Amino acid sequence: MQYLFEIQFISLFRTNALLAVFLADFNMKQKKNLFIALEGIDGSGKSTQTKLLGEQLTREGHKVYTTFEPTDSPIGSLIRNILKGRLKADHRTIGGLFVADRLDHLLNDVNGIVKKLEDGFTVITDRYCFSSYAYQGTHMDMDWVIQANSMSAGILRPDVNIFIDVAPEISMQRLYSNRNIIELYENLENLKLVRAKYLEAFEKLKSEENIFTVDGNRSPDLIAEDIWKEVSQMLKLQQVG
């Protein structure tokens, strides 16, 4: 009788232990997908690094969704027509369009970021709120821009904002050697101002946002290495915590 009781007790203990391990593992997997934003001036290498980081995460077995702003939605297309000079709009109107494009980027029920995260994808976006703070903040009061985007920031703040810091002179050289259309904000004077506004916004929001700056004046591989060190460290910390 005593013997039977002990066997039952041990098997119950084992089941509970297995359940605990399973739940911990499940919880770990649940927490593993990150929301990552890449930021930087035009030509800083965001698209290149979005692709490289996406590939690295995929190799590590993560489900990855890469995306960008301005989006390819109707609002994003309208913005791109303005940036290419096909349509004209005041900077304040452009600021408002970015607010709307970002909300749709988060909330649309086909491929919105919120849904993608719920579905377990790690989401990497090429530009998010800080782009508006820096670019629109160059033409109007930055606090207004931050306020106007507060709904998006309230819905989702990136686990990390990765800022690829490049000298505007270098990014302009890259743009001129690769593009035949130069867009609205792509001139040296403006990009110098935008870079300064990024730094101002990081300082202003350093208690609310996680910002990681990487030296972008180097080869794509070296930049990717630094970004991967940061992201893999974040993934490890999540698994421990």
Q: Which residues bind ligand TYD (CB under 6 A)?
A: 42-43, 46-47, 69-70, 83, 98, 126-127, 131-132, 135-136, 183, 185
74 scored as a contact of ligand ADP (CB under 6 A): no
**What DSSP state is assigned to residue 118?**
H
| C-beta closer to ligand ADP: residue 159 or 183 | 183
Which of 33, 36, 39, 45 is in the footprint of ligand ADP by CB under 6 A? 45
Which element (helix H / strand E) includes 212?
strand 211-215
Closest to ligand ADP by CB, 40 vs 54, is: 40
d(CA 132, CA 101): 11
Q: Give the separation between CA 235 and CA 120, rounded to whole angstroms.
A: 14
Residue 70 interacting entry, from ligand TYD, ligand ADP, none, C-beta within 5 to 8 Å by type: ligand TYD
Q: Work out whether strand 160-165 and strand 211-215 pair parallel, antiparallel, or are unpaired.
A: parallel
Q: Which does 161 bind (CB under 5 to 8 A by kind): ligand TYD, ligand ADP, none?
A: none
Strand partners, 214: 164
Interface positions, 191-230, toward ligand ADP (CB under 6 A):
219-220, 223
What's the chain's Rg over C-alpha atoms? 22
Hey, how many other C-beta atoms are within 10 angstroms of the C-beta on 189?
A: 8
Q: Which of 16, 27, 61, 59 is CA-nearest to residue 240? A: 27
Side-chain half-sphere CA neighbours of 199 within 13 A: 9
Q: State which of positions 23-42 bind ligand ADP (CB under 6 A).
A: 40, 42
Out of 34, 37, 44, 133, the only residue in the binding site for ligand ADP (CB under 6 A) is 44
219 binds, among ligand TYD, ligand ADP, none (CB under 5 to 8 A by kind): ligand ADP
Residue 66, strand partner residues: 124
Name the residue type at position 103.
L
Write down the least CB distance from residue 219 to ligand ADP, Å.
6
- The distance of closest approach from Cβ of residue 47 to ligand TYD in the complex, given in angstroms and rounded to an integer, is 6
Sheet with 64-68, edge to edge strand ranges = 64-68, 122-126, 35-39, 160-165, 211-215
Give the residue from 85, 102, 90 showing the smallest Cα distance to 186. Answer: 85
Residue 220 interacts, among ligand TYD, ligand ADP, none and using kind-specific CB cut-offs from 5 to 8 Å, with ligand ADP
Residue nearer to ligand ADP on the CB measure, 68 or 238: 68
When the beta carbons of 211 and 235 are compared against ligand TYD, the nearer one is: 211
Residues binding ligand ADP (CB under 6 A): 40, 42-48, 174, 178, 219-220, 223
